[in-house]
Structure 1
C-alpha cells in the first residue's frame, strides 16, 4: 500500500522515536542495583587522601581532566571503574568508603586503596593503606548500614545478591612486596610459582568471605603487564627488550592460577557467578614507553606536585610512572564491559554478568 504520509511527517516519525528513546535512556534503571569496588591505586578514588602515606594523589596535576579536579584518583581523569559504572547505567560514580554516607551507599561503594595488596603487609613501606582484608571489613560496615536503610536482613540480602563486586588487586603484592627483597622476605621464601599459589589461595579465602557476606556476582581482574610501565623500565632497565622480563614472568603464574580458581568457584558455589577479566589491551597508536606527567613524586613513580603534564594526554597509555591515563582506562573498561574475546573476558563480560 502506498504511504499517504507527507514528506515532513515521514521525517518526523524517526525524530519522534529518537526523542522517545532518549527519554527512556535518561530514565533508565542501572543494569544492576549496585557496584562495589575492591582494589588498589588502579581503582582508588580518594580513600587514601587522609592517610599518612606516600601513595596518595589529591594534588595537581592529578585530575586535570576530571570535573572536580584532584579527587585522589591516580589518573588525569577517570578510573576504569568510573567508565564501567556509566556503561552499567549509573548516574553517579561510586563514592569512596571514607566519604560514603546516606542512601548513596545503596548504589555501591569504592573501597580501593593505593599501595594495598592481597597480603596485609604489602605496601607497608608506603605508609597507611587499606589491605584487601580491611576493605572487606569496611564492606561489612556498609552492609550493616544498608540493612538499616532497607529495614530488614532479607531485603538487604536480596539487594546485595544482585550487585556486581569488582576485585582488581595483586600488582602491589609484586611491585611493592615480592620485587623489593630489601624490604620484604617473600622472594626468599617462595619461588614465583609458589608465591602465586599462596596469593591466589589467600584471594580465594577473601572472595569466599565476600560470598558469605552476600556477594553473588564477581568480576575478578588478572594482573596487567607490570614490567611494561615507564617506572619499571626506568628502575630495572630492559636490556633492549620492550619490557622488564623478570617482572612480567614473575607475575605470570598469578593469572595462570587465578583462572582455574574462578572456574572452581563457579563449580562449587553454584548460586554465584565468577568471571575473569584481563586488564591488558592493545596499545596500538598510543605512546606506551613514557609517562605524560613529570614523575618523581610519592615513591618516585607519581607526578611531581603542580608540574605541567603533556598536552596530548589522550594519546598516552600511562599518565604517571605506573598508572594509566583516562584514555587507556576507557579502552580497558569498554573491553571488560563488552568484549566477546575469551582472552579478555571469561566466561562472560560485565554486561553479561549483570544479566546473570
Structure 2
C-alpha cells in the first residue's frame, strides 16, 4: 500500500511540474519604452531618472529596489506573467548568454520619441538607441539558431509604450530647456511625433516583429507632478490631456493602417486613457502620490515616508503608477474588459494569431 501511495505522490508531483513549467504563449517578449516599462536599464547611467533606491521596489518580490519606477511590479511584468514566463524579461543592461532567447526589455526612464527628450535629467537610452540595441540582439539570436531568427521572432510579442516624456519632459517641460512649444502647435507637434513613431514601428516590422502592441498615452495632465508644476484652475492640466488626445488619435489611425497594409502581421492599440482606476479596483486616491516627500523632478525622495494603504493609490510618485495601478493596466491590456481598452484586440488575442 505504501508503494502505491509513493507512486501516486510521484505522479502527482510530475503532473504539477508539467503544469507549472508549461511553455509560455510566445517564445519571447521584447519591450520598448520609458519609465513605465524600465526594469533597471537606467541604473548604470549618469542620470537623475533612476529608481534604484528605497522606497522604490518595497513591494517587489525581493522587497528591494530594482530600478522600476514603482513600489512593485510594472504592467509589463504582469503581462509577462500572464504570457506564462516564469521569470522577468531581463533588462538590456543585464542580458547575458541565452537570456535573450526569452526576450529583452530595452525601456529607459525619461526616454521619448524625440532624441533630445529628457536630456536635462542626464543620460537616457533613446528610442533610436533601443532599436539599435534590438538589432544587436537579433544578430546574436541569428547565431544561436544557426541562420535566420525570422521564423522565431515572428511568433514573439513586442510592446512599445513611449511618448509621455515628449510632453512632460519636452513640450511642457521645464522652462527654457526645450524649444518645441515655440516651434510647433499642439497639432503639428503630435504629427511630428507620430511620423517618428511610424518610422520606429516600420523598423520593428522590417526586423521581424509581427505581433505588436502599441500603447497610447494616459491622462498625463492629471498626474500630481503635472498639476503641481502647471497649477491649473481645474483638477487636471486640460491642455496636456488635449495634446495627448491629438497624439493618441493619430497613433491609433496609424495602427489601423499597418494592419491594412501588412497582412502577415498584427498590430493593436492599447488605450491607456480608457483604463483609469476606479473604486471598484480598490483605488480611491487618484490625485495624490503615495510617497509623502518628492524631489523637484517629482520622484520620491530617498527613504521617503509612504502611504499606509498603497493599493488605494493610483500614483506612487508624481508621475508613475503604483504596483496596483500597474496590475490593473497590465491585466486589461492582456484581457480587455471593454471594447475601447484595446483596439482591435487585446494581447491575449494578439498572441494567438498564427503568422
Is TM > 0.5 for Structure 1 vs Structure 2? Answer: yes
| Residues 1:47 and 2:48 are matched in the alignment | no
1:262 shift after superposition = 0.5
Offset from partner CA, 1:329-353 (integer Å, 9 cap, x none) = 0011110000152311011100000
Show the counterpart of 2:251. Answer: 258
Give the total of aligned pairs: 336
Show the counterpart of 2:342. Answer: 345
Match of 1:204 among 177, 198, 206: 198
Show the counterpart of 2:151. Answer: 158
Residues 66, 77 of structure 1: 8 Å contact kept: yes
Show the counterpart of 1:77. Answer: 72
Show the counterpart of 1:231. Answer: 225
Match of 2:59 among 62, 65, 81: 65
Residues 252, 269 of structure 2: 8 Å contact kept: yes
Match of 1:291 among 289, 292, 296: 289
Q: Which moved more, 1:45-54 or 1:174-183?
A: 174-183
Residues 168, 222 of structure 1: 8 Å contact kept: yes
| Residues 1:191 and 2:185 are matched in the alignment | yes
SS in 1 for 2:340: coil
1:102 shift after superposition = 1.4
Structure 1 unaligned residues grouped into runs of 5+:
1-17
Show the counterpart of 1:109. Answer: 104
Runs (4 or more) in structure 1 with deviation over 6 Å come to 18-21
| Residues 1:182 and 2:188 are matched in the alignment | no
Match of 1:354 among 328, 351, 355: 351
TM-score, normalised via structure 2 length: 0.91
Residues 61, 306 of structure 1: 8 Å contact kept: yes
1:242 shift after superposition = 2.1
Alpha carbons of structure 1 residues 123 and 147: separation in structure 2 relative to 1, 3 Å:
same
After TM superposition, list the pairs within 5 Å mapping 1:244-323 onto structure 2. 244-280=237-273, 281-285=275-279, 286=283, 287-297=285-295, 299-323=296-320
Match of 2:91 among 84, 96, 118: 96
Residues 294, 317 of structure 2: 8 Å contact kept: no
Distance in 2 between residues matched to 1:272 and 1:203, nearest whole Å = 17
Residues 277, 328 of structure 2: 8 Å contact kept: no
| Residues 1:120 and 2:98 are matched in the alignment | no
CA RMSD of aligned residues (A): 1.6
1:252 shift after superposition = 1.1
Alpha carbons of structure 1 residues 312 and 30: separation in structure 2 relative to 1, 3 Å:
same
Residues 295, 321 of structure 1: 8 Å contact kept: no
Residues 74, 326 of structure 2: 8 Å contact kept: yes
